[in-house]
Structure 1
């Protein structure tokens, strides 16, 4: 016998507890199923099933053999799907969520490029700063920034790139109020407050959170950026907000020796037995460009 002969028949009978049901599942005759299973038992030198006129049950040896054979058959199916996916192209629907500003300014153009390349793909994007439940709300993928606190075991994660936080102020603000050189000096400055009322720094290799206060509170990075550019106060924002303004000199980084470590930018998607081409290839596309 070939090493695989009788395996599919044996597994079908084990799971269906019936030669007739196994034959129906495999689309072959009951006699053929019986011949294959009997030949397998003779090859192994052991009985795999107890057979009566009313019932078929798996022997102890059959149960052990089934566990190993099921894994082998599943692995073969995975291998075939993996090879098949190499030649597949993204198609169908893909539901994606990302943080509002980062999604609109960075993720959306990259997704649009991807859809332009694969016109059989339809992408639905929702940009929100809420942490949506991917499984419950039917999302294929989420882009998350920073720490992945609370990520469950039902999700897979892949880091695409990093982001850096900058504390910075306009030259006009620094000329008027001076530049802070220590974290304690922030108490004497107008700090533009976002969703959280503290900023993160690192001092002597340890993370520090500094409570801040100021004349403007906003749950919008763009609003805080505008206030900083107008010289109203100091702001702490990710690089994708402030990089162009730092490069032009309209914002000046401060407290750079307390710069916090870079944070991750992540793709998160529900755990599946095999990653579909549309998700796998979009993750690769985003990682390739964000990594630059």
Structure 2
């Protein structure tokens, strides 16, 4: 392993906090990572890491080396891309995290075109509805919806989506179609347990507050979709989560003259690290996908 690769390995060790986690991310054995760090310490004639009950901690010298090494790796990546030219493809591995349903419906079906433009790029997608630690998981860019609660995060808003009251025509045929937000209290709602289900509707300066209640609570968006498509009830959700079905008429919106709070999609990059060209290009790709009209989206089940 050359010097730049050794520096990259050391950076992963510091960011993950262990030799084993860094080895898993790089795809080598733990002894190889331990040997690389030992060789770096021999070359530099300084101790870079100390062991503690909390894992591996960089020394003062190790922390200074980490900062410089991280910058050098980023600059090397950018220099290589610039030398290849603006039209050249990206290379190496890109690790992305995203909510399962959003990625299945709106990202994965469009990946063939992105990968065709960058034949030397490999993408590792971590699908999880929960927020994960980007540094410890080795994630280059995460797609997150909602408000950004972490003020230290490096984030870029890619799109702002609409929220709607959504159900199947069959459900509304049985339960009736609400014409006022207050009428939602009489309906069976599929409740997303990870969200506050108290909603404020606005229309012409007026406000109406509604608390969704239902016998079915689901912890993942995929379950919300399954329950709604099984005619079990209505939901308040982003149009992104039902984009194929809204386009086909399999589900419909109601109370469309009332506005709900919009939902933002963010590209989040690991704090303390410059976003790589690969991560920025992927964020650009997702932003372009979401500019397409719903009729241009692939049908459900193609992902």
CA 1:145–1:206: 2 relative to 1, 3 Å:
farther
Could you tell me the TM-score, scaled by structure 1's length?
Answer: 0.62
Tell me the alpha carbon deviations over residues 143-169 of structure 1, each in whole angstroms, 9 at most, x when there is no partner.
011221x2232x322222232222123
- Taking the TM superposition and a 5 Å limit, the aligned residue runs for 1:163-182 are 163-182=161-180
Could you tell me the TM-score, scaled by structure 2's length?
Answer: 0.60
Tell me the alpha carbon deviations over residues 179-206 of structure 1, each in whole angstroms, 9 at most, x when there is no partner.
2222222221111212236153432558
CA 1:230–1:118: 2 relative to 1, 3 Å:
closer
Q: CA RMSD in A?
A: 3.1
Q: 3-state DSSP class of the match of 1:115?
A: helix
Asked which structure has the greater CA Rg, the reply is 1
Query: Which residue of structure 1 lines up, in the alignment, with residue 202 of structure 2?
Result: 203
- Does residue 1:213 correspond to 2:210, yes or no? no
How far, CA to CA, are the matches of 1:246 and 1:199 in structure 2?
A: 24
Query: Is the CA contact 1:183–1:255 (under 8 Å) kept in the aligned structure 2?
Result: yes
Compute the displacement of 1:268 (Å). Answer: 1.1
Compute the displacement of 1:215 (Å). Answer: 2.7
Query: Is the CA contact 1:164–1:263 (under 8 Å) kept in the aligned structure 2?
Result: yes
Count of residues paired in the alignment:
214
CA 1:115–1:244: 2 relative to 1, 3 Å:
closer
Q: 3-state DSSP class of the match of 2:236?
A: strand
Q: 3-state DSSP class of the match of 1:132?
A: coil
Query: Which residue of structure 2 lines up, in the alignment, with residue 240 of structure 1?
Result: 240
- Taking the TM superposition and a 5 Å limit, the aligned residue runs for 1:144-159 are 144-148=144-148, 150-153=149-152, 155-159=153-157
* Residue ranges of structure 2 left out of the alignment (5+ in a row): 1-74, 293-303
* Residue ranges of structure 1 left out of the alignment (5+ in a row): 1-76
How far, CA to CA, are the matches of 1:92 and 1:188 in structure 2?
A: 54
CA 1:83–1:208: 2 relative to 1, 3 Å:
farther
Compute the displacement of 1:233 (Å). Answer: 1.9
How far, CA to CA, are the matches of 2:271 and 2:139 in structure 1?
A: 12
The farther-off stretch of 245-254 and 121-130 is: 245-254
How far, CA to CA, are the matches of 1:274 and 1:243 in structure 2?
A: 33
Compute the displacement of 1:211 (Å). Answer: 1.9
Query: Which residue of structure 2 lines up, in the alignment, with residue 91 of structure 1?
Result: 91
Q: 3-state DSSP class of the match of 1:130?
A: coil
Q: 3-state DSSP class of the match of 1:236?
A: strand
Compute the displacement of 1:241 (Å). Answer: 3.1
